[in-house]
Chain A
Amino acid sequence: MTRRFMFDGQPVAFEDGQTIMEAARAAGHFIPYLCWHPDFPPHGSCKLCIVKVGGRHVSSCALPAKEGMEVESNTPEINAERRALLQMLFVEGNHFCPSCEKSGNCQLQALAYELEMTSARFNHIFPDRPVDASHPDMLLEFNRCIFCELCVRASRDVDKKSVFSLTNRGIHKHLVVSAESGRLGDTDFSRDDLAANICPVGVILRKRVGFAVPIGQRIYDEKPISQVSMEAEK
């Protein structure tokens, strides 16, 4: 007999070992996320995928589904918490979307649209992290990093190059390039690496394609992220 749990009041079937995120997605329910990726083990750092199970907050990307669980996800309470997390990410970096090449293709921005975040609410920190344009094909704009570590994981586990890592803790945490000079141009990073193509925001950018697709005609200009993300499931 198939086992089920309740997701926002609807039964969702699951198989052994599936997380709440995987089972919910397979059943057609979108859960917001930034650091989760279908091809990688759960990372659990962005906390956008929090849901409430039996009154407790859990990361749905990491928690295995269990028979009879009651999961709350798309509720005003949880969405308000997700919005607050997004707002903190916006003020921690420098997200001036109108001049960002990723605008319209950016998952952080798309989730802000999805969760109706109209303002960043908190005081902006306006960090000053210099841009690294030393690589012939790629550009690094560190001021937009959200610390999802997708580039770190892709470069280490798939490309086998370990080009990126995070250093320091708390508000001082930041992305660094593993080269003695600290510059991307001094690594064997290539634009065909998975790490060059996995950044959900506008940190790791390909040069010379910036606005080839005009603003207004990009992925999340056309459709909300809840729709785009679920199309990959089919």
Chain B
Amino acid sequence: MTRPKLRIATTSLAGCFGCHMSFLDIDEHLFELVELVEFDRSPLTDIKHCGPCDIGLIEGGVCNAENVHVLREFRNNCKTLIAVGACAINGGLPAQRNHLELGACLREVYEFRDGLSGGQVPNDPELPLLLDKVHPIHEVVRVDYFIPGCPPSGPTIWKFLSDLIAGRTPRLTHSLMHFD
């Protein structure tokens, strides 16, 4: 009897897609993986909304209103939600703006930067509103597991996912555990 395939959704919030690149670094394990899972919403499928899933992988922290909506959609649909990488876990690089006042930060980039004269802070209504602080995802929704690293290596992601898919408690051995 073949086991029904697990459904996995992935997204990048305030991240650089480095964790997704690292996910692709599991190389030939991708062949094993597609035997066991199918992808729902993900940059890999271009499906725009997340349906009911077994596993959700979130890269990146929460820096704007859209990130909050996407993160909640994932939490509502995924049985197991996993924070992948430094930004999802502690805000990471985007959160290094947290000690600056947001307005000043935007004006510095769009108005005062060298070579920018007459520039304005973009305010198109299509653009999601920025939050005043960047948050790790566990400050917004309940998170079941965390895979640290910037990014976590391919072998780290594979160890974690293969444990989880096989029904074992995922565990990272010393060489797979990195915050950098």
Contact B86 A97 (CB under 8 A): yes
Residue of A nearest to B147 (CB): A118
Are the C-beta atoms of B89 and A96 separated by less than 8 Å?
no
B136 at the interface (CB under 8 A from A): yes
Q: Which of A90, A96, A109, A223 is B92 in contact with, Cβ under 8 Å?
A: A96
Q: Total A-B pairs in contact (CB under 8 Å)?
A: 73
9-residue interface stretch from A32-40, A46-54, A98-106, A149-157: A98-106
B133 at the interface (CB under 8 A from A): yes
Alpha-carbon separation in the docked complex, A112 to B86 (Å): 14
Scan residues 61-98 of chain A and give those whose CB is less than 8 A from a CB of chain B.
Answer: 90, 94-98
Contact A126 B146 (CB under 8 A): no
Q: A98-B93, A112-B179 are in contact. Are A124 and B86 (CB under 8 A)?
A: no
Enumerate chain A residues within 8 angstroms of B86, measured Cβ to Cβ: 96-98
**Which residue of B83, B93, B138, B145 contacts A96 across the interface (Cβ within 8 Å)?**
B93
- Is A126 in contact with B133, judged by CB distance below 8 angstroms? yes
Bound Cα distance A113, B98 (Å): 26
Q: A98-B180, A113-B174 are in contact. Are A120 and B90 (CB under 8 A)?
A: yes
Given known contacts A96-B92, A98-B150, A126-B98, A121 and B138 CB-to-CB distance under 8 angstroms? yes
Q: Taking A96-B86, A96-B92, A97-B150 as contacts, is the C-beta distance between A120 and B136 under 8 angstroms? A: yes
Task: Check A124–B139 contact: CB distance below 8 A.
Answer: yes
B148 at interface by CB-CB < 8 Å: yes
Q: Residue A128 at the B interface, CB < 8 A?
A: yes
* B83 in contact with A103 (CB, 8 Å): no
Q: Which of B135-180 contact A (CB under 8 A)?
A: 135-136, 138-139, 143, 145-148, 150, 171-172, 174, 177-180
Q: Are A124 and B92 in contact (CB under 8 A)?
A: no
Contacts A98-B180, A113-B177: A118 and B172 contacting too (C-beta < 8 A)? yes
| CB-nearest residue of chain B to A104 | B180
- Is A116 an interface position by the 8 A CB rule? yes
Question: In the complex, which residues 9-58 of chain B have their Cβ closer than 8 Å to any Cβ of chain A?
Answer: none
Measured between C-beta atoms, what is the minimum distance from A108 to chain B in Å?
A: 10
Cβ of B68 within 8 Å of any chain A Cβ, yes or no, is no
Max chain B Cβ within 10 angstroms of own Cβ: one of A103, A104, A112, A124: A124
**What CA separation (Å) do A127 and B139 show in the bound complex?**
17
Asked if B90 and A124 sit within 8 Å, CB to CB, the answer is yes
Residue of B nearest to A108 (CB): B179
Decide if A97 touches B143 in the complex (CB within 8 Å).
Answer: no
Counting CB contacts under 8 A, is A215 at the interface? yes
Q: Is B60 an interface residue (CB 8 A)?
A: no
Cα A124 to Cα B174 with chains together (Å): 25
Contact A119 B180 (CB under 8 A): no
User: Which residues on the B side are within 8 Å of A128 (C-beta)?
Assistant: 99
Q: How far is the CB of B64 from chain A (nearest CB, A)?
A: 17
Kindly state whether residue A168 has any CB partner on chain B within 8 Å. Answer: no
Q: Chain B's nearest CB lies how many Å from the CB of A194?
A: 27
A80–B95 alpha-carbon span in the complex (Å): 27
Q: 9 tightest A-B contacts by CB?
A: A128-B99, A97-B179, A98-B150, A119-B146, A118-B146, A126-B98, A103-B180, A113-B177, A224-B174
